[in-house]
Amino acid sequence: MATDTSFTRRLSRLISKTFGCVLVGLLLFKGIQGVWAEPGSLSTEPSKSPLTQLQTLQSQGSQDSSDPATLLQLADLYLQIGQDIYQDENQKRQAFDEGARLARRVLDMEEHNAEAHYLYAANLGSSAQTAGVMASAFTVNTLKTHVKRALELSPDHAPALHMMGMMLEELPWFLGGDKDMAITYLVRALEAKPDYTGARLDLAKIYIKRQNQTAAGAELLKIINTDPPSPSSESRQQDQREANKLLNSLIIQP
């Protein structure tokens, strides 16, 4: 009985400590990137880099726009730039913070906008992770709340499904983690968008962690054989290169 009590006390302290400060690094995954987002009303030009598109919009005074579609386009571009272009951590965080601010403005006007909920959560989580700070359980719950709301409004929103799946995979059980449901959400993301290589790569990695080599190999082959968009995005190319490396490592294992 004494041993049980001691274990319970240790577990209680661990839970209390973790609830007080949870590493946002747990949320470092491609599900919080906007590159593969289904933008709905957003209008982007894949032939131009996100930075070029942002500069063009800024020159048109779009930062002061009250049009939700324009603000979401900006929020998405800031997310992409912070993830894929900027290397300096201060620049990355400034981009994410601005993306979150713009998405929040849309939510103040249109609470029912699924893309705004997703982009707010994605930018907010990316900013906190980039800063390397400790996030409270409140921050984690804020992210989950907005992703859940995005899915209530748009059940087939692939990036939101991906983000939810990875949060369920990485968070401990006492913060709502659920490894079985994590796979369910990732599978749903791929049903909604079969060429979503970022989500498929994360699913393959989860299968590797579960030591399900057959399932992992099947997902990696699908990534490698996915026809690239025209022009092919750098992120898609990176996913395919990583899938090749992972598949080779599975093949050479004794």
Give counts: helices (H), strands (E), the chain.
11, 2
pLDDT, tens digit (0-9, with 9 covering 90-100), for 44-54:
555 578 888 88
- Same-domain check for residues 116 and 227: no
Residue 181 sits in a domain of what CATH number?
1.25.40.920
**Final residue of a domain: which of 144, 161, 189?**
189
The whole-angstrom separation of Cα 37 and Cα 8 is 43
Q: How many CB atoms lie within 10 A of CB 173?
A: 9
Q: 211-224, pLDDT tens digit by residue?
A: 999 999 999 999 99
Domain boundary among 161, 189, 217: 189
Q: Which of 135, 157, 189 is the last residue of a domain?
A: 189
What pLDDT does 62 receive?
A: 80
Which residue, 81, 31, 23, 11, is CA-closest to 53?
A: 81
What pTM did the predictor assign?
A: 0.80
Give the model's pLDDT for residue 45: 56
Inter-residue contact 202 to 59 (CB < 8 Å): no
Q: Are residues 170 and 237 in the same domain?
A: no
Residue 8 within a domain: no
pLDDT in tens, the chain (254 residues): 444 555 445 544 443 444 444 444 444 444 444 433 433 334 455 557 888 888 888 888 787 788 999 999 999 999 989 988 888 889 999 999 999 999 999 999 999 999 999 999 999 988 887 766 545 667 788 999 999 999 999 999 999 999 999 989 988 887 788 999 999 999 999 999 999 999 999 999 999 999 999 999 999 999 999 876 655 567 788 889 999 999 999 876 65
Number of domains, the chain: 2
Burial class (CB in 10 A: 0-12, 13-18, 19+), 246: buried
